[in-house]
Each structure stands twice: as C-alpha cells, then as structure tokens.
Amino acid sequence: MIDKVAITIKAGKGGDGAVSFRREKYVAKGGPDGGDGGKGGNVVFVVDEGTNTLLDYKNRRKFKAPDGDNGQGRKFAGKSGSDLHLPVPRGTVIKDTNTGKVIHDMSDGQPYIAAKGGRGGWGNTHFATATRQAPRFAKNGYEGEYKELTLELKMLADVGLAGFPNVGKSTLLSKISAANPKVANYHFTTLAPNLGVVRIYEKDFVVADIPGLIEGASEGLGLGHDFLRHIDRCRLILHIFDLSASEREDPLEDIKKINAELKKYSPDLATRPQILVGNKIDTGYDKETLTKIKRYASRKGQKLFLMSGLTGQGIDELMRYVSELLETLPPLTTYESEITEEAEIDYTDRSVDIKIEDGVYHVEGEWIKRVCGGVNFDDRESLMFFQRVLKNSGVIEALEKAGIQDGDTVEIYGIEFDFVI
C-alpha cells in the first residue's frame, strides 16, 4: 500500500518572443513582426476514481510540464505547452514538503492547478516606437512554477474499524458489504485498508477496515502512521475488540491502549464518536470482564454492542444503529488550504541586491534578470536600451552608493562590463 510520497513538479517555461522583421518583395523596410512566445503548460492534479493508492508515484518522483514554443516571424505566436495531468485517488491531500502545510484536498473531485506555467515573452513587435522603429530585442518567456510536494492519501470513509490485529475487522466488513478482504485466523495484520459500501434503510455509507494497530503506532511503530492517517476523516469509529480473549488476555486493557494511540496521534481523532464492539461472543467470554467494559463504556458515554463475525449475531442491530447515528453527525472531514495563494512576481519592483565579491559588483533582482534575457548585446540600439534601463531604474545610483569606482567590474547574470562614470 503506497499512501504517502514526496514528489517535485515544474510547470513549463513560457516561450521566448521572436526578433523578426518583415521581408517581402516590393515592401521596403517592412518593420518588426516578431511573434510572442507561447504559455508554458500547467501541472494539474486530477482525481482518478479507479485507483486507491499512490503506487504510480513510487518509482517516478519528478514531473515537468511542456514548455511553450518560441514566437516566430510574421507575428506568429508560439504554441502553448500542454498541461501535464497527474491522476491521484480521491482523498489525496497535497502538502508543501518543506513546511508540511496543506495546499489542497482532492476530496472535492475537481482538477487542481498545482503549478502554473510561465507566460510567453513579447516579440519585438511590442517594442516598436516612433523613434525606435527596428527593435532588435524581445522578451524571454517566464519560468514556470517549481514546487516540492508531499502527497498523502487519507481514505474517504464514514466509518472506520479500529482495533488490534485479528479481532475481526475484516470479517465484519465482509459481512456488511460486498468487499472481499482476505479473512483467516492470521497472527498478523492486514497490510492495506479495505473499503466497503453498506446499504441500510435505502441509505449508503462507506466503511473502512483500517489495518490492525499495535502499541506504539502513534510513534510510527509497525506501520502505525500509514494506518492511522486513513482514519483521520472518519465520522465514526467502530472500536472492535476480542471479547473472548482468545488471543489477548485483557480486552479492556486492549481498548484503553488503542484509544491511547488514537489520542497520541491526534487529540481531535480521540474525540470522534466511538462505538465499542465486542466480537467473538460465539466462543464464550468472561462475564466479569464484560461488566468492567460496560462500566468503562458508561463512563465514556459510549455505546456497547456484542456480535459474532462468524455467525452474524448482533451485526444487523449494530448496523441499524450506525446508520441512524450517521444521520446526526457532521460530514466527512475536508482539509482547508493552509497556504495563501502566492502572488506572481512583481516585475515592476525595481529593487536590486548588490553583493561585492573579489572586487566584482554582482547585481541581482528578478526584474533585471528578465531584462538581461531580452537584450541583444551585439545590437547597439539594444545595448543603449539596457543602459537607459540601468540608469532610469536606479541601478547605477545603487552601485554608486555601494562604493563602485570608475573601471570596477559589474556582473549581472553572466554579463560583465566595466563601470564608466
């Protein structure tokens, strides 16, 4: 069962704008006709109703959407990159790997754009003016978003069956639904959760057989965290225990241990409505033990049912009560985003960061990085445009305040030149 993976995603880069000029017979000095670059593809998560695992992401962890095509002459815009669709099971929660915060819950079944493609760059057509009629530069495309994500599958079930291994959870699920889990007198736990749909009084609800927990599960012992996350959303917990004590000595102590693990994992989970279900009554049980459990249930305000997964005794009564109780409980838990939508980079912000290393003045800033990408340094007019940008945006003034002298070297994203006052 693969239900938690870490992946990286990268949206497509926008295509670069084209530097092109109209060249046709009988048309003198046709002017610029460079087209814009195409938009980069988005990375989109979509719900695949046919899967209940994240197995597809076990061996492949890096995903990148196609880039947009570059612009062309005759004002032809580049083709936009196609979106990359990543299918996940319903109930997958997308988190930021670095902060652990929830980004989006795929329980709503709607597609979610997790990384937006970069915008295409402008062709030189946009830079033609009355005084600059043949611009030999264009804008590069914007980079697509890059994110490090963790995908967690938290099953969507109304009712979760909790308890130690081999207490009869899988048997109960097979009796009340069409689910067909492997059932036998195993001395180990089921390795993957099973889902079943129960129909009572013309109403349906989903039950999840959560694999058996062990003491220390909340600290991650065994497969504790992998199993406990599947009970996070459940509206109601059926706590199954072996009343016959056929494999474990003290049923009441077992109940307390499981509840302690639930509380350690999530205090909220421990407050979820819970029904105690004593199984295997067909094999006999100690009446004094049952009396102690009744007192415990009374103190906790919990309902107690007795049943036999083997003979079916008590199951109908239990399911009728569960169906009625679900009508009064809040809907399934959904996780709200804990991250505010990031604003796109503001390229109108002309602030720069100047660092001095070995006598070289390094200038950094997202906006100036993009300016450099659109400058043709072999073209005099384009170079003059770059110089005007440095002056008008305050970069020259910032360098002077940093102590630059005539003849010192300036480096801006791989471009080096001598500073001249």
188: nearest Cα among 219, 215, 164: 164
pLDDT at 342: 52
Contact status, residue 35 vs residue 89, Cβ threshold 8 Å: no
Domains and CATH numbers, the chain: 1-153 (2.70.210.12), 159-326 (3.40.50.300), 353-418 (3.30.300.350)
pLDDT at 209: 81
Contact status, residue 170 vs residue 219, Cβ threshold 8 Å: no
CA atoms within 13 A on the CB side of 29: 3
CA dist 180 and 186 (Å) reads 16
pTM: 0.72
pLDDT at 275: 97
pLDDT digits (tens, 9 = 90+) for 85-98: 999 998 899 999 99
Contact status, residue 42 vs residue 117, Cβ threshold 8 Å: yes
pLDDT at 179: 59
Torsion of CA 156, 50, 109, 114, to 10 degrees: 110
User: What is the DSSP pairing of strand 409-412 with strand 360-364?
Assistant: parallel
> For the chain, which ranges sit under pLDDT 50?
1, 181-191, 214-225, 343-345
pLDDT at 370: 74
pLDDT at 189: 42
pLDDT digits (tens, 9 = 90+) for 177-231: 875 544 444 333 444 567 778 888 778 888 888 765 544 434 444 334 455 666 7
pLDDT at 219: 45
Q: In the 3-class helix/strand/coil scheme, how is 3-49 assigned residue by residue?
A: CEEEEEEECCCCCCCCCCECCECCECCCCECCCCCCCCCCEEEEECC
